[in-house]
Structure 1
């Protein structure tokens, strides 16, 4: 926000350039609920498709240690080797689940915005360690919204878990007499039911939170009219300077046009409101418009023609038609060939008699 500028003055929608600058600084739409949902989805896949294999990979080394506990050497290097083998087995068993969780976490950010490479968030800021700023953040409106959002989420998730688990409460007593394999099967099934239900709730929460975070982000990126004008000046140039350049170009173009009037073969007028100077020489496919204008410019063209003895022919319909259909340095349209040929023929006959 500009110095001394009230946020209430920011009423204009952000430009594409403003959004690009925010992205370059690492200021993007971020919803942690999307990341939580993505991570929970990965957990669901791990439990559904990889829990059995991971459990077997973990139980194998542990069972071997327990079966041969009396034969294991724990002196010196043997203990180090034992821990290394056990750690390697555990790491190999958990590598794929950890990798899936990592990918899910990254995907949770990627689906919200494109990759961001910015050191802005790593730059030390006094506001991050200031007790006063921290106190303000703790009791800010955003903190209150997050608190209410957390309560709603806990309430919804708790209610869903209760609805899923309560019908299965009769299984708790028989589980005492079951073996480990049966207990693991029931536990996996209940876990899948719980996580699937929670996942459905988190999907709704994540979607609503993303829309809310995007709305807040777009509101934060809004611009004042002064900021829009300054950005336009930076990207398109100062309008006053552009207008001045356009005026200079028009003046130069008018000077070149006036300089071409003495070379014209005839000037068709209306008689004072329109003037079109035409040039025709032997070998040209069609007469060429070398100058045209209305009112003051038309009077100037007429005066230059008189000074340089260029014939002037008053033909209001033809003058208006030529002015509307032909530009300077362009040949006249084909539909005017006949009328212009009569004018030029008249001028040539007049010169021949003179």
Structure 2
């Protein structure tokens, strides 16, 4: 993508980019870290199980080399001794193998975490493409890997040669030593050699791990255009998002308009604002706004209210205050309780008069003079 657009990869990878890469099995890994952990596990296992291993090896050698005349001339005894030796060797090495296997499992997930992907197992034509293979062979990454391999070989080989040269006398003397001391000295020598080589691999891993993290982050980086395209694909194109918001508004308005016939009163500006209020004393502690709108929506609310004989009162300051302070299906703020209570009291008295002509008609309060706290006042007409 960057090559096609000519843009540089300057942006950090997004979580979506990293997630898609992990799904494909592309995560940061360090072979040197795994090798170091396996070798250190081998050293640790020899420290822990070395004594047991030496005892079992000595016992196995004694049983295999100290044979009587009957066993020497019995062909079947050869298989019996072989089976016993295999069993003894397996028991002696079991602890070592378990620790090494555990290190081999932990090593790959120590950098990049646990990741299982079936996509990484799927065959790809690019893997057997000779041209792509040649490009990979002569790429910068291959050159770095070659340099790492040569450096590792030189470093480990050099340390190994130095160690072997320093202990050459001890190694030669093992051939003249008695059986038990020779095995013990050989194991101690192996342990110390492993320890020195592990120390060398720690240096290599300490260099390789930061490099692998840097290389992976660099590979995952994105161009500015890729970030924009991903954001657009994730959140949708602006025209689609606009259409979705429009549909959501239409759905919300239709639902709101269905509640207007259930309102107790509609308070208007009288033309720009309209707020429909309902008071359910059994289920609510305060009146709620069931619908509100300005201009065309306000006109629609008034039309529905007229169709269903919902009382409409003109109280411009109160209509504006409720519109700007309260959302649909929310209760009226405490600061507007008194003003709304006066309106509802008049509406309920008017309804009672209509139902029972024997009572005197209520006098309409001066709605323009309702007490509206300053924090709720909006002078917009």
TM bucket (normalised to shorter chain) is 0.7 to 0.9
Supply the distance in 1 between the matched residues of 2:287 and 2:159 (Cα, whole angstroms).
87
Question: Paired residue for 1:323?
Answer: 323
Report the more deviating stretch, 329-338 or 305-314: 305-314
Return the offset for 1:328: 2.7
Matched, 1:253 2:252: yes
1:334 correspondence with 2:334: yes
Number of equivalenced pairs: 349
Q: How far 1:107 sits from its partner (Å)?
A: 2.2
Cα contact 2:289–2:331 (8 A) shared by 1: yes
Is 2:151 aligned against 1:152?
A: yes
* Separation in 2, partners of 1:25, 1:331: 52
2:92 is matched with 93
2:343 alignment partner in structure 1: 343
Q: Distance in 1 between matches of 2:99 and 2:162?
A: 29
Contact 1:265 1:311 in 2 (8 A): no
What SS does the corresponding residue of 2:289 show, helix, strand or coil? strand
How much has 1:58 moved relative to structure 2?
Answer: 2.1
TM-score for the superposition, normalised by structure 2? 0.70
For 1:77 and 1:188, the matched residues in 2 are separated by: 33
TM-score of the pair, normalised by structure 1: 0.75
How far, CA to CA, are the matches of 2:84 and 2:285 in structure 1?
95
2:56 is the alignment partner of 1:54: no
Counterparts in 2 of 1:341 and 1:154: CA distance versus 1, 3 Å? same
Task: For residues 107-141 of structure 1, give each alpha carbon's deviation from its aligned partner in whole angstroms, at most 9, with x where no partner exists.
Answer: 21243355544444444444444444443333221
- Which moves more between the two structures, 133-142 or 82-91? 82-91
Deviation (angstroms), 1:232: 1.7
Aligned-partner Cα distance in 2 for 1:59–1:181: 7
Task: Kindly indicate whether the alpha-carbon contact (under 8 Å) linking 2:263 and 2:310 is maintained by their aligned counterparts in 1.
Answer: no
Q: Does 2:65 correspond to 1:63? A: no
Give the corresponding residue for 2:314: 313
**C-alpha displacement at 1:159, in angstroms?**
6.1
> 1:252: Cα distance to partner?
3.6
CA gap 1:190/1:324 in 2 versus in 1, 3 angstroms = same
SS of the residue corresponding to residue 72 of structure 2 reads coil
Structure 1 partner of 2:201: 202
Check conservation: 1:266, 1:313, Cα contact below 8 A: no
- Measured after TM superposition, the shift of residue 293 of structure 1 is 2.1
- Distance between the aligned counterparts of 2:220 and 2:25, measured in 1? 13
